[in-house]
Amino acid sequence: MKLYDMKMAPNPRRVRVFLAEKGIDVELVAVDIGKREHKSDDYIANINNMGQVPTLELDDGSHISESMAICRYFEEIQPDPPLFGRDPVEKAQVEMWSRRVEFNISGCVAAGFRHTSDFFKELEDQVPAWGELNKSKLPERFAWLDQALTDREFIAGDNYSVADITAMIGVDFARVVGMKVSDEWPNLARWHGVVSARPSAKA
């Protein structure tokens, strides 16, 4: 098994943090997005025909992409510690919060970055007004997540889950559009301190 990985991008980090929480070692293969290695003929033909990173290669040579799909595969083959919830309600809450954070924070950061930065000029059909609108919404989205964290320790409830991984990576990646967690959002700052102190955060 090997994981096609890219150090700076948020989605590969999601899988690396997830694997660190599970204590699973997987061989990493570095893909250089700057050199467009993920759009090379070889990568498209043999690894991921949509040119995405991360991609997991199974021992039979088949591939799984989408970071959440890769995480779910590892949850299934090694359920402990559970990171997708422990019972039907918690599983639904983890899915709900992971998606809410993806749409409201990670998606907003990605759109803000992809549609305004020089880095994506040739990789994306940029609509700068769309990027700016997304960037402008981030402070209210940080306030929304701060509010959600008023009465609980983790994003989806009392237990650390993949929703915390999604949120930590979305919030950290917001640096690319100039947003940083601060005491302006005290619950968010408290939670961010807790999740960032876990050894997995360095993965």
- The yes or no reply on residue 143 touching its own copies (CB under 8 A) is no
| Contact residues for 94 (Cβ-Cβ < 8 A; gap 6+) | 83, 84, 85, 156, 161, 162, 163
Nearer to its own copies, 162 or 201 (CB): 162
Q: Kindly report the length of the chain.
A: 203
Asked if 26 interacts with its own copies (CB under 8 A), we say no
Site membership for its own copies, residue 125 (CB under 8 A): yes
- Which one of the spans 5-13, 20-28, 70-78, 176-184 is the region binding its own copies (CB under 8 A)? 70-78
Q: Does residue 122 interact with its own copies by CB under 8 A?
A: no
Instruction: Say whether residue 198 binds its own copies (CB under 8 A).
Output: no
The CA–CA distances, whole Å, from 10 to 15, 22, 175 equal 9, 19, 11
2 binds its own copies (CB under 8 A): no
The sheet that has 63-65: what strands, in order across it?
Answer: 27-30, 2-5, 55-57, 63-65
100 binds its own copies (CB under 8 A): yes
- Examine residue 65 and tell whether it contacts its own copies (CB under 8 A): yes
Block residue for tokens 């059909």: 125
**Residues ≥6 apart with Cβ < 8 Å to 33:** 6, 8, 9, 53
Residue ranges binding its own copies (CB under 8 A): 50, 58, 62, 64-66, 68-70, 72-73, 76-77, 87-89, 91-93, 95-96, 99-100, 125, 127, 129-130, 133
